[in-house]
């Protein structure tokens, strides 16, 4: 989403809205996926028990991200390393530290790292250019590796079978023309967005490989028809 919006001639408010949604959507998606997997594996589990867990994961993830983000920004500017090439590694270590601490206390590691990165990225940093260039290159390498691994899990004869494609197209139709617009218009009630802007937000929804990654969770958990779910989601994405 960030790459698609880069240097595009759209309003700052629209870009900020889509970027905020893109960044905060993944932690929510991970949480919901894990909840429903647990409910499928243990049908007697009460959904109400998950509510405190949701607020703990999101709240502590946000708080942890803000705290470590400020600590990282302060540390980067204060520490005196022998080589400028060490600053990107030093910055990356804070991302690993943030996720590790969040996982230890059962908070949302994805949200914590995202918020920490936002704080660091909007701070005045020493060797900011080299840090930015390193992380951009590292992100591309990670994406390439992710798509290679996901490609190894998929089989064309399964993904492009008639039944999978039919179900995928039906779900796509519902998501694109019904679910996404309804969610956008309901979420933006009484907010200062025009109808055209709401339509744009409805069509500029999230696209990417994260749903495919989440589709591997049921396979790992041994959920019934998990392979079918993976193939449908792969065809959707």
pLDDT the model gives residue 66: 93
As a whole number, mean pLDDT of residues 68-91 equals: 88
As a whole number, mean pLDDT of residues 159-177 equals: 86
As a whole number, mean pLDDT of residues 120-124 equals: 85
Q: Are 76 and 125 in contact (CB under 8 A)?
A: yes
pTM of the model: 0.74
3-state class (DSSP) for residue 205: coil
Cα distance between residue 169 and residue 204, in whole Å? 18
Mind listing the pLDDT tens digit for each residue in 130-161? 888 888 888 888 888 888 887 888 888 888 88
What does the DSSP assignment read for 29-96? Answer: HHHHHHHHHHHHH-TTS-GGGHHHHHHHHHHHHHHHHHHHHHHHHHHHHH---S-TTHHHHHHHHHHH
Mean pLDDT of the chain: 83
Of the candidates 177, 138, 149, the residue with the CA atom closest to the CA atom of residue 234: 149
Residue 8 has pLDDT above 70, yes or no: no
Instruction: Among 87-96, 147-156, 207-216, name the one with the lowest average pLDDT.
Output: 207-216
pLDDT the model gives residue 197: 83
Q: Cβ neighbours of residue 70 under 8 Å, at least 6 residues apart?
A: 119
φ/ψ of 225, rounded to 5, equals 60, 25
pLDDT the model gives residue 3: 60
CA atoms within 13 A on the CB side of 9: 0
pLDDT the model gives residue 67: 94
Of the candidates 198, 209, 188, the residue with the CA atom closest to the CA atom of residue 22: 209
Cα distance between residue 214 and residue 118, in whole Å? 24
pLDDT the model gives residue 230: 84
């Amino acid at each position: 989403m960030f790459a698609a919006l880069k240097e595009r001639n759209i309003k700052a408010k629209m870009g900020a809205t889509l970027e905020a949604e893109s960044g905060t959507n993944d932690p929510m998606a991970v949480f919901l996926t894990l909840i429903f997997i647990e409910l499928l594996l243990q049908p007697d589990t009460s959904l109400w028990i998950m509510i405190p867990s949701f607020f703990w994961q999101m709240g502590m993830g946000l708080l942890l991200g803000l705290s470590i983000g400020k600590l990282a920004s302060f540390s980067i500017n204060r520490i005196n390393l022998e080589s400028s090439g060490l600053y990107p590694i030093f910055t990356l270590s804070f991302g690993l530290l943030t996720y590790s601490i969040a996982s230890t206390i059962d908070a949302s590691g994805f949200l914590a790292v995202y918020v920490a990165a936002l704080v660091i990225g909007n701070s005045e940093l020493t060797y900011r250019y080299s840090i930015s260039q390193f992380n951009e290159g590292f992100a591309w390498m990670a994406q390439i590796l992710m798509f290679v691994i996901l490609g190894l899990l998929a089989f064309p004869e399964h993904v492009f079978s008639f039944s999978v494609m039919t179900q995928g197209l039906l779900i796509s139709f519902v998501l694109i023309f019904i679910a996404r617009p309804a969610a956008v218009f309901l979420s933006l009630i009484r907010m200062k967005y025009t109808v055209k802007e709401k339509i744009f937000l409805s069509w500029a929804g999230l696209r990417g490989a994260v749903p495919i990654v989440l589709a591997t969770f049921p396979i790992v958990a041994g959920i019934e028809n998990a392979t079918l779910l993976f193939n449908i989601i792969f065809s959707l994405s």
